[in-house]
Structure 1
Amino acid sequence: MQEAPTPRNEQKRIAALQAYNILDTASEQDFDELTQLASAICGTPIALISLVDKNRQWFKSRYGTDVTETDRALSFCAHAINKPNDILEVEDARADERFKNNALVTGDPNIVFYAGMPLVDEEGYALGSLCVIDHKRKQLNEQQQLALKILAGQVISKLKLRKKLLELENAGKRIQKLNTLLTLKEREAMQIIEHTPMSMALHTGEDMKIIFANKMMLKAWGKDSTVFGMPFNVALPELAALDFPKTMRQVYRKGIPYEQSEAHMSYLHEGQIKEFYYTYSFTPLKLEDGTVWGLLNTAYDVTQNVKSRESVELAEERLRLAVQSAELGTFYLDSATHEFVSSPRLKELFGFDPEEELSLSAALAQIAESHRYKVASAVNASLTQGSAFDIEYPVIGYHDNVQRWVRATGKVYASAEQGKAPFFSGTILDITERKQDEQRKNDFIGMVSHELRSPLTSISGYIQMLKIKAAKSNEPTITDIAEKAKRQVDRMSGLISGFLDVARLGEGKIKLNCERFNIARLLTDAEEEVLATVSTHVVNFANVEDVIVNADIEKIGQVLTNFINNAVKYSPFNSTIVVSCTTSGQVAKISVTDEGMGIPVEDQAHVFERFYRVESEQMKVVKGFGIGLYICKEIIESHGGKIGVNSKLDYGSTFWFELPVDQTE
């Protein structure tokens, strides 16, 4: 057991306490009513007004116990007065190092829960506390804590009034001031109920006469103060029909509290039948001899909370039905423990039986080896960086050995439970049929492209012969026609190559011939080619330091050329294009910036998708199939890099890609 430290102003505090002449005085109804209200509001069997003297704590008012004082060394309130502005709340004294060996905890009155609000006078001295005690673990809600503070203020007010009363007695004005204080006391009692942050009403007698109700309760009833003094069933026939008077009379007769949580009720309220949910309680108010003299009616309107919860539950049910209808698999992954929970449909997609356990490692093991690392990296990026998770990959069934393609989407969510780690959750959809359709399309594209190659090669040869013959015969018109035909053949050849690349990407047949090379070399080669082929724009290549990467130089060059050609294609004549390379840590970033038409924000997320083209008036005059940037994206991502665009409409665009810097010596 730890004794409470002595306050630094202890001598002055004791002097302030003694100045009230309150110690060892008889009980007073003013204070007894406050402890009774504190017990009722906080729902505890014991409530005390405790004054901490030099060696003891003495109880000016006690409700629920006959003990008048205890040794200060055992006092909980002696701890409370060290923080005059805060409530000391001990949810379980048996688990608190300060109190678990305290005789008041291990023996009578067997304290488990304690909450005490210091009684601080106008000079700032903590004289003691207004405290509530229970024999079981408990925690006050915000309204109860506020009410306890209000009641503690009333105790101090009564102490001040009592002190003034003594002074007036010495001046011969005792009788006059007693009458004033009596009126003030009644007014204060009404103010306590009025300002308590919950619906409250006071009833007396078998007919549950309404003595008083605060504004919150009157609003709940849909009435005004004209109901004061009326029996419950006369004043509130709407609620009397719900059998409230019977329940209230039972509490009044037996002296046993009654509580209901989220009780549903419908009644006529301000002229309309309305639906409510209330958490309410009826608490008997007793005299010292146990006689019930009244009933405290308290209530919280929880209608909005209940309806909000029901709305969430309905939304969850609709989502569950939608998931079932779409045959989606679902998963949950705890970011701290890596606990993996999967739905029966997800297990089915991975070839497991519904009753089998499926761990994260077992799920990853069923992913085709070609995609396993990519999926694991995407999961880790989502967990550690909050990155979006949307990925397609093949899985091999555990039992049936059937290959299925799935699309997995997910997101990291903050846990609703305080202190618990976030979790990663999402869905998995079977896209095998779509992938098969794509494969058939790719096969068709590949076949058609191969078939077109042969006649196109022959046409190119014939045009070349025509150009030679026209040059020998000095026929400029035929030479010009042949040159234009050659440009169209070259364009068609480029389109066919693009379609072949798309087909190969779909089949995973594009091979990378990686080597270590200096990006400065790549940009130098690109600059020489641009100088020879681009005369309509100013293309500036920024100085580049030596940066070594391990990549396929031809494929990376293809991406850079595509960016430069697009910049030329989509920016005004004679405008400037800037090609640059920067490094940050272990990443090299190559950018191509133009002064062109720019890309709308809603299109920027899609420009790297296959066959996607921005719809605008300017784009109508620029021909293309929307496969170039898709191929660029696949090339860069196959190198473990990133690709993107930053653009502002009418101000130009910056297309960029990143590659990891090679760290090998």
Structure 2
Amino acid sequence: MGNKGTGNESANRNEGTDGLPVSLESCLLDLRQAEETIRQQQRLLYQSEAQHNLLFDSLDEGFCTVEVLFDNADQSIDYRFLKVNGVFEAQTGIENPLGRTMREIAPEHEQYWFEMLGRIALTGKSQRLEHWANALGRFYDIYAFRVGDPMDRQVAILFKDITERKRQEELQAYLLRLNDALRSLSDPIQVQDVVTHLAMKHLGADRCYYCEIEEGNAIIRRDAFRADLPSVANVYPLSDFPILSTVINAGHPFVVFDAHTTELLDDGLRQLCLQTQAISFVDIPIIKDDSPCGILCITCCEPRKWRKEEIELARETAERTWIAVEQARAAEALRESEENYRAIVNQSIAGILKIGLEGNMLFTNDQFCRMLGYEGAELLAMHVNRIVYPEDHERNAAAFHGLVSEGRAYEIEKRFVRKEGAIIWVNNHVSPIFNNKGEVDAAAIVSIDITRQKELERQKDEFIGIASHELKTPITSIKAYGQILAAMIDQSSVPPTFTQLLTKMNAQIDRLIKLIYSLLNTSRIAGNQLTLQLEPIDLNGLLEEHVRQGQLTTSRHRITFIGEKLPSVMADVERMGQVMDNLISNAIKYAPKGGDVIVRAESRGGWVRVSIRDFGVGIPKEAQEKIFDRFYRVNDASAGGTSGIGLGLYICREIISRHQGQMAVESIPDEGSTFYFELPVYTERQ
């Protein structure tokens, strides 16, 4: 109990019974303690304010506190700036705002802003919004909220200038609408019509038109214009329309805010603008490859301060208009080209077919459908082998493989099967179609129906075969009679002229016999009746024999054989001799001035090659592929009018082909030719 009052003893000893200080010292002590407490609180307040101001000024967004001013009816009429942060001026363009009202700073500031801030000050309900401030020429993202005592009617505003972002969004939205509108258009005039109306509406202009610059003229095909204005669509010589010439010469956007006062126009241009009511305008020239090709013009009948973003939008519109017009023109030209192409292709007397590398048919013209009796849709659903005669599949596939692997065009005769089962012969010229990587992507086939020609050839071959066979017997008899007559005459009792005539007659009979046998061989080849008596042979002996025989027929040529030890080949001795005689005879014939003829034999892996080279007139390049065709002869004056019917080389190649070999020629005009053939080496079966 005695200690119970000690806690208050110190506090109460300086006070009297009435609660007043008992001494001056105690009073001063209390005063000093109170002052220290106040100083500490001031330091804390200063630190807090310093931190607050540091945070306040470190914001990259604008911030201000305003006092909203009301009239007697509690309608907000203005607001005064009480506090702003460091980026306020950069975000608004307002200098020294503190203590000033918004109407004092920007009298044309929209009423919307006063009403919105007044509503927040009265209700305390914060608001976030994005809105345009016309008087400041900026778009803002804003968060506004009430601060302090409601009676003070103060509002804090956190805001950010988003004008550039909004401009880009607006531009992108406009361009998206423009692209959507242009996407389906393929007519250049429609493009201009859509663009001008869309741009005029979006920019709130009175007129918009697109000029095409062609051969010194400005051509306005379509224009958009206010209802009470006339159209200006027409053709204007640039020399008579100086405004457009001025725009072109400027080479960049030509912008006039007010034709009445601008210094960009001389008096003549000014009067023209006033007459056409083009008081303010943005003209965008389009220059490609240093030449003007178009101008986009946007005009208003009243003065107007065009904003940077509006000029940029006009520039982008002009560029896209030019692109769209050019694309439409290209599409129109392509459409006309395709129509012409289809008309030509479908009226062609040749069948035209496009096939993929897997043999799927991708395109066919009308003539090809008629040739085979199918509808186009039926053919496009089929594989090409469905229409190729089965016996021609392997040969056709081999030729097509060469096209795919080497990109080599080829020509082939083969049979097609019509829809009703009939067989037709066709001559196909097959060419590779390359993709942008240079790879074979498909094949184009030009097909000619040669069924009638084949039938005529068959009839001709049949006639040749019959005629040759029928001529063979009497010619053989005439030959025998000539030989008997030559043996019977007495050289001493007959005139020399008689002997000479008999010798010439026998030579002509030999020539006729050779011709008849050539025709017989041709007939046999055409009828697949050329038989071979195959046996393993050493070509060296056969070649040497025929070289000696060939040398006996000429005194102006030196025929040389160069050989090496060769492996055996399977061959028909008589037929191979026929080939050698023909090739040596041709070498002599087509080197009329004489010279060397070189016969060479060599082993090449699994093949034996025999070549016959002359140094005569040579063969033109365009004739080298055709020279093995039946009845083909080179019409070359330098050959000296050599005789023949064009069967020798044809028969030679067919003989070599039936030996499973191949034959070709290499030639340079005026330097000579080398004919060669290759035969597979004979391998004895175990």
TM-score by length of 2: 0.53
Which among 423, 438, 441 is matched to residue 442 of structure 2? 423
Which among 628, 635, 641 is matched to residue 608 of structure 1? 628
Q: Secondary structure at the match of 1:298?
A: helix
CA distance in 1, matches of 2:310, 2:376: 63
Q: What residue in structure 1 maps to residue 480 of structure 2?
A: 461
Matched, 1:206 2:227: no
CA distance in 1, matches of 2:441, 2:297: 38
Which among 307, 321, 325 is matched to residue 347 of structure 2? 325
Query: How do residues 329-478 of structure 1 correspond to structure 2 at under 5 angstroms?
Result: 329-335=351-357, 337-341=358-362, 343=364, 346=368, 349=371, 356=378, 363-364=384-385, 367-368=388-389, 370-397=391-418, 400-416=420-436, 422-471=441-490, 475=494, 477=496, 478=498
Structure showing greater radius of gyration is 2
Contact 1:470/1:476, CA 8 A, preserved across alignment:
no
Structure 1 residues 294, 440: CA separation in 2 closer, same or farther (over 3 Å shift)? closer
Q: CA deviation at 1:434?
A: 1.0
Q: CA deviation at 1:326?
A: 3.7
Structure 1 letter corresponding to 2:559: V
Which among 607, 620, 624 is matched to residue 644 of structure 2? 624
**What is the CA deviation profile of residues 437-486 of structure 1, one whole-angstrom value per residue up to 9, with x for unaligned ones?**
11222222222222221221111011011111025876473443322211
CA distance in 2, matches of 1:354, 1:295: 50
Structure 1 residues 524, 373: CA separation in 2 closer, same or farther (over 3 Å shift)? farther
Structure 2 letter corresponding to 1:324: N
Structure 1 residues 404, 289: CA separation in 2 closer, same or farther (over 3 Å shift)? closer
CA distance in 1, matches of 2:468, 2:493: 36
Q: CA deviation at 1:503?
A: 2.4
What runs of 5+ residues in structure 1 fail to find an aligned partner?
1-22, 30-62, 68-129, 139-202, 239-244, 252-268, 271-275
Q: CA deviation at 1:565?
A: 0.4
Matched, 1:649 2:648: no
Contact 2:582/2:648, CA 8 A, preserved across alignment:
yes
CA distance in 1, matches of 2:376, 2:208: 63
**Which range moves more in the overlay, 367-376 or 647-656?**
367-376
Which among 616, 634, 637 is matched to residue 596 of structure 1? 616
Structure 2 letter corresponding to 1:415: N
**Which range moves more in the overlay, 511-520 or 427-436?**
511-520
Which among 501, 506, 509 is matched to residue 526 of structure 2? 506
Q: What residue in structure 1 maps to residue 558 of structure 2?
A: 538
Q: CA deviation at 1:655?
A: 1.9
**What is the CA deviation profile of residues 37-75 of structure 1, one whole-angstrom value per residue up to 9, with x for unaligned ones?**
xxxxxxxxxxxxxxxxxxxxxxxxxx99979xxxxxxxx
Structure 1 residues 419, 626: CA separation in 2 closer, same or farther (over 3 Å shift)? closer
Query: How do residues 126-137 of structure 1 correspond to structure 2 at under 5 angstroms?
Result: none
Structure 1 letter corresponding to 2:566: D
Structure 1 letter corresponding to 2:246: S
Structure 1 letter corresponding to 2:405: T
Q: Secondary structure at the match of 1:622?
A: coil
CA distance in 2, matches of 1:312, 1:206: 36
Structure 1 residues 467, 205: CA separation in 2 closer, same or farther (over 3 Å shift)? same
Matched, 1:565 2:607: no
Contact 2:356/2:441, CA 8 A, preserved across alignment:
yes
**What is the CA deviation profile of residues 580-605 of structure 1, one whole-angstrom value per residue up to 9, with x for unaligned ones?**
23455544432211121223334334
Contact 2:353/2:362, CA 8 A, preserved across alignment:
yes
Structure 2 letter corresponding to 1:330: I
| C-alpha RMSD over aligned residues | 5.4
CA distance in 2, matches of 1:516, 1:597: 36
Q: CA deviation at 1:279?
A: 12
CA distance in 1, matches of 2:205, 2:522: 88
Q: Secondary structure at the match of 1:647?
A: strand
Structure 2 letter corresponding to 1:331: L
**What is the CA deviation profile of residues 304-335 of structure 1, one whole-angstrom value per residue up to 9, with x for unaligned ones?**
76656555554443443344334533333322
Matched, 1:497 2:517: yes
> How many percent of aligned residue pairs carry the same amino acid?
28
Query: How do residues 89-104 of structure 1 correspond to structure 2 at under 5 angstroms?
Result: none
Structure 1 residues 326, 628: CA separation in 2 closer, same or farther (over 3 Å shift)? same
CA distance in 2, matches of 1:380, 1:331: 17
Contact 2:348/2:367, CA 8 A, preserved across alignment:
no
Structure 2 letter corresponding to 1:423: A
CA distance in 1, matches of 2:614, 2:415: 39
Contact 1:520/1:546, CA 8 A, preserved across alignment:
yes
Q: Secondary structure at the match of 1:484?
A: helix
CA distance in 2, matches of 1:293, 1:348: 59
Q: What residue in structure 1 maps to residue 22 of structure 2?
A: none
**What is the CA deviation profile of residues 169-221 of structure 1, one whole-angstrom value per residue up to 9, with x for unaligned ones?**
xxxxxxxxxxxxxxxxxxxxxxxxxxxxxxxxxx98835799xx9x99x9988
Contact 1:347/1:354, CA 8 A, preserved across alignment:
yes
CA distance in 2, matches of 1:493, 1:617: 28
Structure 1 residues 465, 334: CA separation in 2 closer, same or farther (over 3 Å shift)? same
Structure 1 residues 207, 304: CA separation in 2 closer, same or farther (over 3 Å shift)? closer
**What is the CA deviation profile of residues 478-515 of structure 1, one whole-angstrom value per residue up to 9, with x for unaligned ones?**
44332221111010011111122222333333234444
Structure 1 residues 315, 632: CA separation in 2 closer, same or farther (over 3 Å shift)? farther
CA distance in 1, matches of 2:401, 2:468: 40
CA distance in 2, matches of 1:433, 1:318: 30
CA distance in 1, matches of 2:538, 2:171: 77
Matched, 1:520 2:540: yes
Structure 2 letter corresponding to 1:206: A
CA distance in 2, matches of 1:369, 1:474: 70
Q: Secondary structure at the match of 1:324?
A: helix
Q: CA deviation at 1:374?
A: 1.8
Structure 1 letter corresponding to 2:412: I
Structure 1 letter corresponding to 2:413: E
Structure 1 residues 293, 357: CA separation in 2 closer, same or farther (over 3 Å shift)? closer
Q: Secondary structure at the match of 1:632?
A: helix
**What is the CA deviation profile of residues 253-305 of structure 1, one whole-angstrom value per residue up to 9, with x for unaligned ones?**
xxxxxxxxxxxxxxxx99xxxxx8x89999xxx99999999743432357776
**What is the CA deviation profile of residues 415-441 of structure 1, one whole-angstrom value per residue up to 9, with x for unaligned ones?**
25x698611121222110111111222
CA distance in 1, matches of 2:620, 2:310: 79
Q: Secondary structure at the match of 1:422?
A: strand
Contact 1:538/1:576, CA 8 A, preserved across alignment:
yes
TM-score by length of 1: 0.55
Contact 1:597/1:650, CA 8 A, preserved across alignment:
yes
**Which range moves more in the overlay, 485-494 or 506-515?**
506-515
Structure 1 residues 313, 392: CA separation in 2 closer, same or farther (over 3 Å shift)? farther
